[in-house]
Structure 1
């Protein structure tokens, strides 16, 4: 009897959340096509493929709405598995269009090179027409009209497609709404669309809301039309424990050799090894709201005095840099801090100079402008503001966490803080949650429980409040107050 080289999917995966309504799967046709090509799969890959290609009663993929999300460590064999599934689909369905996109150009190039080698094997080569590469977009074109197109999101790849049947988002831990918006609408033209997100657990600085949201929804039972598969070691695993390596990587040690794991252990930082080699997600608490709604509402006032002097501005942008929020903190007569969003509007990088001028007109060189070091606003504004000799303060990770803690404490415990009751700020504040920082009890940063929450308004006033408390000069006497600020919708 042949001994299985690796475990089955349900023996090896930590989480397998299966979509509802499965009545069949496209796996047998793909399996048989791969066998004709001389390709076989390990048991865990077979189980994964069977679910990835699962179908409902209408004959469409069971995940055609919610998609497939796979959290998987490096060096497991994901490109082999997904790559051959894609090739088989291209052979079975003439004229199929597949896009395989990674965040980094190096990853996209590496994947293309690997799959081009797969396409050149003796059994596969007769199906291939050509493999053009113009530097920014690479293709594997089939004689039956199917094609697989590769590209990097950091190069702006993804726009211009009119019909996409299969989209593979590699490095999905770095995936923004803009990338989704560029490609997902093109899948509406497909008769049976399939979307696959593959990634490793994200770093704290990664723009990973889409990947995190997919995982959260699956684990909370809120994604009946999605497939979620996760391979990972135990949360507090010993990074040198070979048993934990086997838990995280179903291909170890038969296919992924010990030397490959040891190379990652040596080259990656301890935190990166836990994420990228062992698939362990950071322990975060996303269930605790930043502020109680009643407390936030109780601090709203209707008529802030326009004579209150400006103490600081805070600036933030959404991850796509299509919207800017500018928070302003003023000193009220009772010694407290009043917070408003002075601007919350669409943004295009072509308007950077106008935004800088707007801030210069109001802040000059003496009012601090505060930006989180990891905000999308920093690379756009920091140099331009400093060129004008403005008082720019960039908050590192520790300072930003401190700013979040300080604002929460101010809202919860100190009635001297007020705000204007603006709708967009209220929605942001009431839906923001605390993201606990690993190994730092009591420290957190803001996060959002879903993609519907815009963090930029709350982040902007968080930075402004911190600037007022930490960096602002003392209040001027009433007779010398000359500065004003304008509220822009």
Structure 2
């Protein structure tokens, strides 16, 4: 069978405009001296990833290179070898390579150390640091590749970084990106690479999912490559394996995929990680739109037990304040311990406002209770015209597992959705169930 090109293998291929040259020819020449011969699809991928426009900047420098790919393809070897060669040949190149899990980061580091032992590359390597949390390959020309796991907090405090490789991008939080991406701001020609498998339900995958949406829309300034089997693929069909995995059967053996098929714990996981198939892009809200609309009232009854909930989106771009009234009798202010709104607690306490801080168990109970009330028709709210932010949040929220007891909290269905108004309402409703103060009792602020 003739070798197929990247454009023939990728289910989705979105190429940035204006590519006139690439770093890849020099990389390929050095790779051959090392005994590495890239497959045709790998050549295409690396050519585009390192493609430059006429001004010399990377064509995907603005939006990054994003790769959705199944396991057992050899992506770490492909991209890792190219990054290693670039560092060996270019002065003072600083690279951060990060995975979500420590185990994945360690395995990548060991693979890269293997390149350093190649007799063609050894003269270019100055030293290798193996200490946990400080793993690094340093080159004689001043270039460095540093490795670490995001679960251990790796990525904060760096500056003047030229390239960042986000492995396991399906588990990539907004906070991790906020910690790391600004480190490339002073680089004259930065490049960010994200690669991962389709996310599982509950994974913090908003960033990866949004990048995929941009790729499917063929947004310019980024490279997006997706390898996957057909959506209705038979998981045991070897032809579908070949569609999903460009290295099968030439480099990835049948036994490796069979092992995944048996060990991944269910056909859905194999569809994602073994076949590269994303879950249906029809994620619906956990809140039934009809039930939500049924709770609309024109004039709310404000007599009763009052509580306030506060929440913020991760980027702190807004503050959501919700008030809830329970119609059987105090005022409570409730903030979840994991919310960015925790930064408001000292100021509230200076004003002698008692703040209730919820933990994981409390938040799970509050979310479940709010959902039950919506289903039962006992949660009332203003209409979408009066509360558009809350309405948008409610109709674009799903759930995510939290803790170890089966509890769940709210999650958003897209990267541009702000669910903090719904979280604030949930906390406020919870507050009405825990406060005992009579709202008609006069409150004295500032002491006796």
Under a length normalisation based on structure 1, what TM-score does the superposition of the two structures give? 0.74
SS of residue paired to 1:207: coil
1:180-259 correspondence to structure 2 within 5 Å: 180-221=177-218, 223-259=219-255
Matched, 1:394 2:364: yes
Q: Which shows bigger deviation, 150-159 or 314-323? A: 314-323
Partner residue, 1:387: none
**2:186, 2:375 → 1: CA distance?**
46
- SS for the counterpart of 1:234 is coil
1:331 positional shift? 2.7
> Matched residue of 1:130: which SS?
strand
Match in the other structure for 1:170: 167
Q: Which residue of 2 aligns with 1:417?
A: 380
Aligned mates of 2:415, 2:139 — CA distance in 1: 40
Preserved contact between residue 64 and residue 192 of structure 1 (Cα < 8 Å): yes
Q: 1:96 aligns with which of 71, 93, 97?
A: 93
1:322–1:348 distance in 2 versus 1, CA, 3 Å: farther
Q: Provide the residue aligned with 2:423 in structure 1.
A: 459
Structure-2 change in CA distance of 1:234 and 1:140 (3 Å): same
Q: What is the alpha-carbon distance in structure 2 between the residues aligned to residue 166 and residue 92 of structure 1?
A: 15
Aligned to 2:185, the other structure's residue is in SS state helix
Q: Number of matched residues?
A: 425
Aligned to 2:325: 330
Could you tell me how far 1:125 is from its partner in structure 2? 1.3
Q: 1:254 to 1:406 in 2, by over 3 A?
A: farther
Report deviation, 1:321.
Answer: 10
Q: In the TM superposition, what is the alpha-carbon distance from 1:256 to its structure 2 partner?
A: 0.9
Match of 2:406 in 1: none
In the alignment, the residues of structure 2 paired with residue 296 and residue 166 of structure 1 have an alpha-carbon distance, to the nearest angstrom, of 51
SS of the residue 1:198 aligns to: strand
Correspondences of 1:275-294 after superposition (within 5 Å): 275-285=272-282
Between 61-70 and 312-321, report the one with greater CA deviation. 312-321
Report the Cα offset of residue 253 of structure 1: 1.5
Distance 1:331 1:208, change over 3 A: same
3-state SS, counterpart of residue 189 of structure 1: coil
Q: Is the 8 A contact 2:160 2:186 kept in 1?
A: yes
Structure 1: state its 5+ residue gaps: 364-368, 372-376, 383-391, 438-443
Counterparts of 1:289 and 1:84, CA distance in 2: 44
CA deviations on 1:64-96 (whole Å, 9 max, x unpaired) are 111111011111010011111101211231111
Aligned equivalent of 1:142: 139
CA RMSD of aligned residues (A): 4.3
Cα pair distance change 1:216/1:432, threshold 3 Å: farther
Cα distance per residue 1:6-42 (max 9 Å; x no partner): 5321221111111122232222122122222221111
2:391 to 416, 420, 429: 429
Query: Which of the numbers 121, 124, 132 marks the counterpart of 1:124?
Result: 121
Instruction: Give deviations 1:419-464, integer Å, cap 9, x for gaps.
Output: 49999x7435326654689xxxxxx97524334x322221342466
Partner SS for 2:17: coil
SS at match of 1:131: strand
Q: Report the CA distance between 1:257 and its aligned residue.
A: 0.8
- Give the drift of 1:418: 2.3
Give CA-to-partner distance per residue, 1:103-139, whole Å, 9 cap, x none.
1111111110111112112222121111102211200
Residue aligning to 1:389: none
SS at match of 1:237: coil
Residue 61 of structure 2: aligned partner: 64
Q: Which of 51, 54, 60 in structure 1 is aligned with 2:48?
A: 51
Write out aligned runs for 1:260-271 (5 A): 260-270=256-266, 271=268
Q: Distance in 2 between matches of 1:139 and 1:362?
A: 45
Q: In structure 1, what is the Cα distance between the partners aligned to 2:439 and 2:189?
A: 68
